[in-house]
Amino acid sequence: MKPMIDSHLDIAWNALSWNRDQTESLSAIRKAEVGLDDAQGRGRATVCLPELKHARVGICFATLLARAKVEVPTWRRTDLDFRTQEIACATALGQFEYYRLLEQRGLLRFLRTSSETTLHWQRFVEDPENTPLGCVLTMEGADPILSPDHLPFWWEKGLRLLGLAHYGESAYAVGTDASGPLTQRGPGLLKAMEEIGIILDLTHLSDPSFFQSLDLFNGRVHASHNNCRALVEGERQFSDEQLCMIIERDGVIGAVMDNWMLTPGWKLGETPQENVTIENVADHIDHICQLAGNARHAAIGSDLDGGFGTEQTPSDLETIFDLHKLETILAKRGYADCDISLVFSGNWLRFLQASLPPKS
């Protein structure tokens, strides 16, 4: 079983917004949610710290997630959307504090530099049972950053990766389910990110914001959790042109486990669950490899428990452990063992080693 790096897990958001104790087992989390109907994923969790260890996930990109929505869109969520950036900032700080408390207990370790990442990975590979989860801090949507001048504050907290928008218009860009360029404040934040060394996550950006960001930003870029528009239509996926632009800048793209992003026309409650399997995940990974001409840019960015559970994952995925089925699937498709290792961990490890500051 190969060690794994997952580039998108909402661990703290699940704790603070869904009241899930991430130190408990999945069975305990699911049992605690029996009878709850406030969200579709209740009782169907796939991720917790014990399960991540069981699945040999040694590093994850651990998110901070809070949106500021002055106007109330029809899809506004009380566990995500707040009336001001200040409230969003305070919420993200609460999520950061949850990670910090877990670190104090020895359950995770923040990774802020290339040297810390390399050493942590060596320790994890040698002794996975006794090595805590390594976490690179990322922010999904930049609303908690009050201004470009606020960015050093978050850098000192350990923020190393940043996406400008999530859904709709953020303070700095336009994201999923909308279309438009960067806001007037967007270029200034990109400039500050480049100066300080924060890596740009292009995930969720609308097409105009995506292309404008790449024109303005000369730092390192990636897509933490994105699939392929050539296989599943829709602006949430990236076109071949967009994927190739990320590849040309030596970025990595993490494959997502959300069914509607895996197969065309999938709808919750309408499409049979068995219509989607982990084979569909392999299709997206393979498509990126074919575009690149190698296996150096495809990886895993599961987004498991990102507001959904097993009701919206491949039918043969019960927990994050089941991602290891990709090993056999990719091998049957002719992928060499070394290339499968790149997909599971090598590509993200190389990316972090090249993108994070060498030392603190």
Q: Is residue 360 part of a domain?
A: no
| Structural domains counted in the chain | 1
Q: Is residue 104 part of a domain?
A: yes
Q: Is residue 115 part of a domain?
A: yes
The pTM score is: 0.97
Residue 203: partners with Cβ closer than 8 Å, 6 or more residues away = 8, 140, 163, 223, 224, 225, 226, 301
Residue type, 312: Q
Q: Is residue 67 part of a domain?
A: yes
Q: Is residue 31 part of a domain?
A: yes
> How many residues are present in the chain?
360
pLDDT in tens, the chain (360 residues): 999 999 999 999 999 999 999 999 999 999 999 999 998 999 999 999 999 999 999 999 999 999 998 665 555 677 899 999 999 999 999 999 999 999 999 999 999 999 999 999 999 999 999 999 999 999 999 999 999 999 999 999 999 999 999 999 999 999 999 999 999 999 999 999 999 999 999 999 999 999 999 999 999 999 999 999 999 999 999 999 999 999 999 999 999 999 999 999 999 999 988 899 999 999 999 999 999 999 999 999 999 999 999 999 999 999 999 999 999 999 999 999 999 999 999 999 999 999 999 987
Helical pair 240-248 and 278-292, crossing angle rounded to 10 deg: 60
State the burial class of residue 114 (Cβ atoms within 10 Å of its Cβ: 0-12, 13-18, 19+). Answer: middle
In 199-249 the beta strands, taken as DSSP E runs, fall at: 199-201, 221-222
Q: Which of 124, 44, 99, 131 is nearest to 308 (CA)?
A: 44
CATH code at position 53: 3.20.20.140
359 and 115 in contact (C-beta within 8 Å)? yes
- Give, in degrees to the nearest 5, the angle at Cα 269 between 178 and 234: 25
Q: Is residue 154 part of a domain?
A: yes
Range of the domain at 84: 4-355
